[in-house]
Amino acid sequence: MDEKVLITGNEAIGEAAIQAGCRFFFGYPITPQNKVPEYLSYRLPQVGGCFVQAESEIAAIYMVFGAAGAGARVLTSSSSPGISLKQEGISYIAAAELPCVIVNVMRAGPGLGGILPSQSDYFQATKGGGHGDYHLLALAPSTIQETVDLMMDAFDLADKYRNPVIVLADGCIGQMMEPVEFKERPSEVFPPKDWAVTGAKNRPRNLLKSLYLDPEKLEQHNLKLHKKYLEMAKNEVRVETYLTEDADIIIAAYGTVARISRTAIKILRKKGIKVGMVRPITVFPFPYETFAEISEKVDNILVVEMSLGQMVEDVKLGVCGRANVHFYGRVGGMVPTYDEIVREIEKIRRSQVS
């Protein structure tokens, strides 16, 4: 398939999963991601897969646990409150070291919040979310094409690290349409899933669990997991830098806000203000080093988010006091406009001159 198709982000998530070899989906409906299960409910049976609308998010995530434990490529998707419900199961899956992909089409919170776009689940996705010392690999697409590409990578990465991967989208990405291409992928060969529970005839039995009552063993298990996260940080950081070479001010943004910032940068450059952007594509592991390097070259970095300042903490860790870190955010389902971002940059510039 090399022809471009015009589809919504939600449908793209579904199709990319299928093309990445995912044959199982378990979920429970919630706006604004409903097109994901809708699409997979008819598409999965066409390829011999299995779609189950579970009785709740909690049931769905444990179905994911089961399918992943049996060695299948499996997906669940939801939006913010639904992802919160899944956190216990996600912690179990991370502890049992099972690969799966979780999509969060973020909507505004807290609580039931609203159904419009948001990025206020950044902490939840990057710092844990459930209980215990664990991390998800977190990918944050900003176009529909990138959503497709990252969805496919997500399944590979999950298998590679035996770890759940979360794709952090938002209501805009889910609802909008863009032309996309489903590229033929070189099939990567991964070690067979010899840990899966598939029936122990003629082999020693496999055990997948998260309970370790012996504290010494549990500490060893935690350290093993931790080593994996350090590996991810070493190998899997992805980041885009845009017009940073000659920039005086840097915008840090991801997902939908990054593309709005791109338009703001175009307007600002026409006005003669040299602005560039650092766009994290993985938000865990976070591109700390890129921010460390950039903070040697510029004095001001503006973080723009659809939250009241979550990624700004990671940016500050990278910058480590070498540059001023400013913040601009909209919440509640309000999406920042490029005009607002232009104004914020101009404000920073004025305050530097005076």
Site residues, another protein (CB under 8 A): 4, 6, 32, 115-116, 171-172, 175-179, 259-266, 335, 337-339
Q: Give the nearest distance from C-beta 177 to another protein in angstroms.
A: 4
In the bound state with another protein, the residue whose beta carbon lies nearer, of 177 and 292, is 177
In the bound state with another protein, the residue whose beta carbon lies nearer, of 195 and 338, is 338
Indicate if the alpha-carbon torsion angle 189, 194, 200, 201 is positive or negative. Answer: positive
In the bound state with another protein, the residue whose beta carbon lies nearer, of 194 and 245, is 245
Could you tell me the CA-to-CA distances from 54 to 60, 298, 330 in Å, in that order?
5, 50, 34
Residue with tokens 């406009």: 337
- Six token digits for residue 147: 């959503």
Distance of CA 146 to the CA centre of its chain: 12
Q: Give the nearest distance from C-beta 8 to another protein in angstroms.
A: 8
Whether residue 110 is preceded by a cis peptide bond, meaning omega within 30 degrees of 0, is yes
Cβ–Cβ < 8 Å for 343, 328: no
Q: Give the nearest distance from C-beta 257 to another protein in angstroms.
A: 9
In the bound state with another protein, the residue whose beta carbon lies nearer, of 52 and 331, is 331
Cβ–Cβ < 8 Å for 157, 236: yes
In the bound state with another protein, the residue whose beta carbon lies nearer, of 175 and 241, is 175
Indicate if the alpha-carbon torsion angle 185, 190, 192, 196 is positive or negative. Answer: negative
> Could you give the CA distance from residue 186 to residue 169 in angstroms, rounded to a whole number?
25
Q: Give the nearest distance from C-beta 306 to another protein in angstroms.
A: 12
Q: Give the nearest distance from C-beta 239 to another protein in angstroms.
A: 17
Number of neighbours of residue 204 by Cβ within 10 angstroms: 6
Q: Which helix (H) or strand (E) holds 217?
A: helix 215-235
In the bound state with another protein, the residue whose beta carbon lies nearer, of 305 and 314, is 305
Q: Give the nearest distance from C-beta 303 to another protein in angstroms.
A: 18
